[in-house]
Chains A and B, each alone.
Chain A
Amino acid sequence: MDGGKRNRRAALRLASVVVILFGLTFAAAPLYSLYCKVTGVRPAAGAVAEAPTMAQPDIASVDREVTVRFDTNVADGLPWEFKPLVGRLEVHPGRAVEVRFAVRNLAHETIVGRAIPNIVPWQAAQYFNKTECFCFREQSLQAGESREMTVRFMVSPDLPDDINMLTLSYTFMNRDVQSARKYARNDVALSTKGAGGADESGDDGRKTILNAGEN
C-alpha cells in the first residue's frame, strides 16, 4: 500500500527528531557551563574547565581598598577540616595577593576532594582573577594528611565602584560519589527512626541573655 510507505517515512522522520533531541540534551551540559561562565551568573558551574587567567600588569589603584572575606565550607560526605588562615583582607584592586588555606584529611584513607569557588556578590566574579588556586585541580589527601594551599588572586581595577566588599567562598566536596555516600553524616537509609532530635543542652543561656536585655 502506498499510504503505508508514506506513513513509515513520516514516522521515521519524527523518530529522527526524537533521536537528535535526545543527543542534544547531552550537549546541554557543556553549553550550560559555557553560558554560566560567559554571563558570570553561576561562576562555580564549570569550575573544572576554568583556566588560570593571565595576570594583568601590576597597576594598583592605591587609593582604593576593597575588603575580601574568605569563607570555607566542607560538604557532607567529605571528612576533612578546611579553614582559611586569614579571615579577611583589605586589598588594592590591581595588586596580586596571596592567601593560604589549611586543609586536613580526618579519615583513614586517601580521599580526593575538589574545592568549588564562589564569589559574592556574583557580579564581582568576572573582576576576580585567580592566577593560582587549589581549586584548579583535584586535591588528593592521604590519611590524616594536612596541607596548606595557596590562592593567588587579583581584584581587577575595573571592579565597579559600588562593590567594595566581596567574599570568596570555597566548598570542598568529595570527588567520588561512593566515598561521599560512605562518609555522609546522615545516610538516608537509616534515619527513618527519628534523627535530628534537639538536645536539652542546646539551650545554654542564649535565650536568657536576650530576655534579660529586654527588661
Chain B
Amino acid sequence: MHGGSQFKRLMQFLAVALFLGVAGHVHAEYGINFPEPATPSARDIYQIHMRTMTIATVLLIIVFAIVSYSLYAHRKSRGFTPDQNFHRGWFGRWSWVLVPLLVLGVDMTIAGSAEEVLKRLWLVPKDKDMMEVKITGHQWWWEYEYLDQGVRVESRYVPQEKAGSLYLRDVDNPLVLPINTKIRFLNTSADVNHSFWVPQLGFKKDAIAGYITETWAVIDKEGTYRGQCAQLCGTWHARMPIVVQAVTPEKFTAWVGAQKTRMAAAEAEAASGKVWSKEDLLEKGRDLYNKNCSACHQLDGKGLPPAFPPLMAGGGFPAGENMTKPLQERGFFKDGKIVVGPVPKHLDIVLNGIAGTPMQPWNQLNDLEIAAIVTYERNAFNNNTGDVIQPADVAKARGATAPAKSD
C-alpha cells in the first residue's frame, strides 16, 4: 500500500482548499463574499454571515486537524497497533453525552445571535404613512407600483447589445427609491412564483399570485443596486434583473413629479386628436408591437403556426379550420395564404380579439397605441400597404365595435 504518498497528497489538497476557504471571507473585496450592504438589515445579515462562517471555519479546522493527526499517527504502515478497547474507556462511554452538549453549545451561540436580527427582519414596521411599494413579478419582468404616489413602472431586461457588461443586471426602468426612508414592500405575482432579491438591500421575498408578502428596508446610501429574480419562474427566469436606484428624497420627489407629468402627457397626447405622421406612428408601433405582440406573432411577423398566424402577407398558415376560418371571414386569409385585410376588421381584431382563438382583446391600450400598432402591422414585414391609422380612427372603431359598456 502507498498510504504515505496518498496521505501527503491529501494533506496538500486540504491545505489549498482550506486556504481558499479562509481567504474567501477575509478578502471581501475580491467579489467572493457579499457585496457591500446598503441597508441596516443587510449589514446585520452580513455580520451574522461572518460570525457563522467564522465558527464554521474554526470547527472545520479542528476536524481537519484531528483527522490529519490521526491519519499521520494511527497508520498500520507506522506499525501502530490498534487500541481495541478505545471505545470501552470513559471517553467511549460518555462521548455520546459530551459531543452533543458541545454541538448544542455551538448551535445555541449561532441561533442566539441570529434570533434578534431575525425579529428585526421579520417584523415589518407599521408606522403611519410609511411608504409602500408594490412589487409584482410577471413572466418575465417586474412591475413597481408606488401606492401613494400613483406611479407605476414596468421594468424589463435590456438585451446584450445595449447592456454590455451589465447584461442580465440592467433594466430599462429601474426601481427608484428614496434613501433614509422606511419603505414597506408588498410582494406579489401576476402568474407564477418569483422572488425579489437584491443582495445589497438584504431581503428576499417570494412573490406568490393571490398573496401579498411583506418586507421592508431603509436604504441609507445613494447608489445603484442590482439583483435578479431568485425563484425559477419558467423559460426566461434568467432574464429578470432588478435594478434599484437609491436617491435622496428630494430627487425622488422630483422623479415622481416627472413620472406624473410624463404619464399625463402621454394620456393627453393620446386623447388630443392630434394627427400623427406615418413615421412617428411606425416608430411607436414598432416598440409597442415588439413589447406586446411579438411573443406570439414574432419579431419578424412570421407567427408561430398553428396557434399564432403570421402577420406577414403572402405566406401560408398551416392551421386548423378553427384558426383559419375566422381569419377568412375577416378578410385576412385567402386561398391558403395570409393577406392584409381591411382596416376596420384589423382594428376590430386588435380591439376585441377573436373569440375561440388565442387572440385576446387589446382594448386596454389607448387609441394612440392601437393606431400605432395597426399602422406598424400594415406597413412592416413587407406588407407596405401605406395605410396610416390615426387615434381618431381607433376611437371611432372602439365606439362602433366594442361590446356594450354599462358605465
Contacts and interface: CB of A to CB of B under 8 A. Distances in A.
* A adjacent to B, CB under 8 Å: yes
B140 A195 contact: yes
Given A106-B361, A186-B295, 15 more contacts: A44-B211, A67-B128, A67-B129, A71-B145, A75-B191, A118-B188, A120-B132, A121-B214, A122-B214, A167-B147, A169-B188, A169-B212, A197-B157, A201-B284, A202-B173
A137 interface: no
Interface of B: 124, 126-130, 132, 134, 136, 138-141, 145, 147-148, 150, 154, 156-159, 162, 171-174, 176, 184, 186, 188-191, 209-212, 214, 234-236, 239, 245, 247-248, 250-251, 254-255, 258-259, 262, 284, 287-288, 290-291, 294-296, 298-299, 304, 307-308, 352-355, 358, 360-361, 363-364, 402-407
Given A42-B211, A108-B355, A195-B295, A69 B132 contact: yes
Contacts of B284: 201
Contacts of B307: 189-190
Contact of B235 (A122, A188, A202, A210): A188
A54 interface: no
A23 interface: no
Contact of B358 (A42, A107, A167, A182): A182
Interface stretch (A14-22, A27-35, A138-146): A138-146
A195 B211 CA distance: 26
Interface in A68-113: 69, 71, 73-77, 79, 81, 87-88, 102, 104, 106-109
A165 interface: yes
Interface residues of A, number: 70
A183 B360 contact: yes
Contacts of A186: 138-140, 191, 234, 295
Given A191-B236, A195-B294, A197-B159, A203 B353 contact: no
The secondary structure that dominates the A interface is: mixed
A205 interface: yes
Contacts of A146: 405-407
Nearest to B190: A76
Nearest to A144: B403
Nearest to A172: B210
Nearest to B156: A198
